[in-house]
A = this chain, B = another copy of it.
Amino acid sequence: VVTTGPSPQAAGDPTPVVAAVDVGGTRVKAALVDRELAAVVSLTLATPAALGEPGRLVEAMALVVEQLATRAGQEGAGVDVVGCGVVVPGLVDEERGVAVLSANLGWRDLDVAEPLARRLGLRTVLGHDVRAGLLAERAVGAAAGADHALFVPVGTGIAGALMLEGHVLHVDGWAGELGHVVVEPGGPVCGCGARGCLEAVASAAAVERDYAALAGVHLSAEGVASRVEAGEPAAAAVWGRAVEALARAVAMTVTLTGVDLVLVGGGLAQSGRTLLDPLTCQVDSALTFQRRPRIVRAALGDRAGCLGAACLGWGVVR
């Protein structure tokens, strides 16, 4: 256990909560979350190894949920766990509750929702981390009240989720792969095998790679952002390339879908206006007749996935 969340509940009538778990490449974030999407108890763990082996993911999730319940007891938070939501990256079949593919976490066709429901004795739902994150941003974050939104977490990789007409698109699990839209034809080779994907040009990893190549120094993307703010030309050149690529991908998404709100999340968004101001400016100038999207920083940071899992959990309980 790396960190522990707050325990705002005093003992008393048990609070109905769902267990929410976000399985990431390096960390698992979990919480017991009430109906108002407040975390009553939360945990962050290192992601266990070999989750692709049979039964391993389900067992790990069950242990996390039990830990949450124990923690709630220790902290005197009276809770009644009424359901469970788990979100994972990669390709997810939400209808069947199957984690279809994650190259990063090394699994393929893991049946999750049904065996975990049996193991926990709780209604359980499996979802996609970024799509669920957008649900949470809509419920209590930067997309509150919106009908349409694009959520783009820009970190080591670049993911995406699209809400249109009040509905987050799944399309059999394939919707939202903004990171693999080609923005620089013939550009850098991407992990997926194509050239010039957004992720290969504008992710934190790409910014770090480009800065190291240009300046001969390895800095984190946050470090590069600081040097941009300090007016360093090499940092500005590297940053400018990433911003231009993001602007192209956003403009293209706006043109194709008509989405009018863009939430930028992930590590790169922590630089705030250093990213958002030039991005907004370039998207505006790339568009002609199209309506301009509002481009804002996502509100929930690295809690989006876990709160999204809670949204899904409450969805099956209600």
Binding site for B on A (CB under 8 A): 148, 160, 162, 164-165, 167, 169-178, 180-182, 185, 190, 192-194, 248, 251-253, 255-260, 286-291
Contacts and interface: CB of A to CB of B under 8 A. Distances in A.
A287 B169 CA distance: 20
A181 B257 contact: no
| Stoichiometry, copies per complex | 2
A171 B194 CA distance: 31
Contact of A258 (B171, B193, B258): B171
B259 A177 contact: no
Contact of A164 (B175, B182, B190): B175
Given A181-B256, A192-B289, A256-B253, A164 B174 contact: no
14 contacts: A164-B175, A165-B170, A172-B258, A173-B258, A174-B258, A175-B256, A180-B288, A180-B290, A181-B252, A192-B289, A193-B288, A252-B252, A252-B256, A256-B256
A177 B248 contact: no
A259 B193 contact: no
A259 B164 CA distance: 15
Contact of A255 (B180, B259, B290): B180
Contacts of A258: 169-177
Contact of A165 (B169, B255, B287): B169
Contacts of A256: 160, 162, 175-178, 181, 252-253, 256-257
Contacts of A174: 257-258, 260, 290-291
